Amino acid sequence: MSALENNDVVFMDLDFDRKHIWHPYSSLIDPPPVYPVARAEGVRLYLEDGRGLIDGMSSWWSALHGYNVPELNQAMRDQMDKMSHVMFGGLTHEPAIELCKKLVEITPPGLHRVFLADSGSVSVEVAIKMAIQYWHSQGKPQKSKLLALRNGYHGDTFGAMATCDPVTGMHHLFAGQLSQHLFAPAPQVPFGNTCSDSDIAELRQQVEANRDQLAAIILEPIVQGAGGMRFYSADYLRRVRELCDEHDLLLIADEIATGFGRSGKLFACEHADITPDILTLGKALTGGTMTLAATLCTDKVAEGICQGEAGVFMHGPTFMGNPLACAVADASIQLLLSGPWQERVTAIEQQLSEQLAPLKSAPGVADVRALGAIGVVEMREPVNTAKVQEALIERGVWLRPFGKLVYAMPPYVISKEDLSQLTSAMVDVLGEIS
């Protein structure tokens, strides 16, 4: 029983929080408001004062099943009774083996090797190191640059930051300290459309001009997330795969945000029916319960690395393969695949499309779009995040806008009624400020 249910509320020290705790992308001089969450259940976050908010963010794409999920809680309890952690160097355990079996089975064909890491950003670091070490092992150490896409976002660690858009990736302050990579224009062909040769001409030109120094192309398949919440053509992705094959480059697909059904396919690469050489996963891997990530690669990449000078892949996080995280990830995947996730995501897409459509005519709105369980309202000007959040909270909804974007990616288990409340709040609040 929770403190709220006991009527024995212990109020959080928000003054200490404001003065001492750094929240993501926030100032300690003039900190934005934070809202104290006492518990979470289903699709709702319950604040300390008892208000329940429909979580339209799935805790940044991760909580696909909602909160306080019995199957996931039980998986963690069962594993805790055995061991919460053991080093992965020289040891192994059943939760890691079972999780990796599932990942090899459900990801695009050919991704047979799995490296378990701590977080999404780290999985991108691992992918970059794999690509560079692969070419070093092939006697081509000069192939050490990456080609990334404008409007792309791959994480906040240094290797990942270097592949984010230098402008929209939020990391321009560190430009002088980052590895220098190449950038191609963001895909302009919308999802559902086919590409012409001209749509990929500049990307092709960069590949042909720099193939001797390029190790890989890195991209977010189909959905560019924090760089703009943009949905692009599956045909573009297919052509990138062909371009990599033609010019002997590796393809890194960052599915940290899109993995496990968010785009309407289990993995966004399936929209184009392609297999990358390296695939990164995170966020929803554990159903939003614990931090865990995975980087998968083909036999070609793994064997190429291990046949080289080092003979091993040069990476090994302390908490790699954490048994507790692996156990709950395994349970989350089982829960996802045993339910009607595709029908749920399709229904969410349809409802988001229909119910956000009235905003298309609002003068302050530039675009409204939906794909899978993602709904995006792009404003013409940046929104006042604190003000918009407060107005949404008054309507029982939790969203976190950034820049010009107000977007929703609710848990797949959300009811039609709760999703209607979420979209109604977005329409009301954004209509008022347009």
Report the catalytic residues: 25, 153, 254, 283
- Give dist(CA 250, CA 211) in Å, integer: 11
Determine if residue 318 is labeled as part of a ligand binding site: yes
Q: Would you mind telling me the total number of residues written for the chain in this entry?
A: 434
- Give dist(CA 388, CA 32) in Å, integer: 12
Task: Report helix, strand or coil for 417.
Answer: helix
Show Cβ contacts of residue 137 under 8 Å, excluding neighbours closer than 6 positions.
304, 305, 306, 307, 308, 309, 310
Q: How many C-beta atoms surround the C-beta of residue 175 within 10 A?
A: 11
Contact 406, 379 (CB under 8 A): yes
Determine if residue 60 is labeled as part of a ligand binding site: yes
What's the alpha-carbon Rg for the chain, to the nearest Å? 22
Within 13 A of 64's CA, how many CA atoms are on the CB side? 32
Determine if residue 316 is labeled as part of a ligand binding site: yes
Determine if residue 317 is labeled as part of a ligand binding site: yes
Q: How many C-beta atoms surround the C-beta of residue 91 within 10 A?
A: 9
Determine if residue 107 is labeled as part of a ligand binding site: no
Determine if residue 121 is labeled as part of a ligand binding site: yes
- Tell me the pairing of strands 44-47 and 52-55: antiparallel
- Give dist(CA 22, CA 382) in Å, integer: 23
Within 13 A of 63's CA, how many CA atoms are on the CB side? 22
Contact 336, 225 (CB under 8 A): no
Q: Classify residue 322 as left (phi > 0), alpha (psi -120 to 50) or beta.
A: beta
Quick one: which H or E segment has residue 335? helix 323-338
Residue 401 token pair = 């806008």
Determine if residue 254 is labeled as part of a ligand binding site: yes
- Give dist(CA 27, CA 11) in Å, integer: 23
- Give dist(CA 372, CA 41) in Å, integer: 23
Distances, alpha carbon 77 to alpha carbons 22, 73, 95, 148, 188, in Å: 30, 6, 13, 41, 47
- Give dist(CA 93, CA 87) in Å, integer: 10
Q: Mark the binding-site residues for pyridoxal 5'-phosphate, compressed into ranges.
A: 120-121, 254, 317-318
Q: Mark the binding-site residues for substrate, compressed into ranges.
A: 60, 153, 283, 316, 400
Q: Mark the binding-site residues, compressed into ranges.
A: 60, 120-121, 153, 254, 283, 316-318, 400
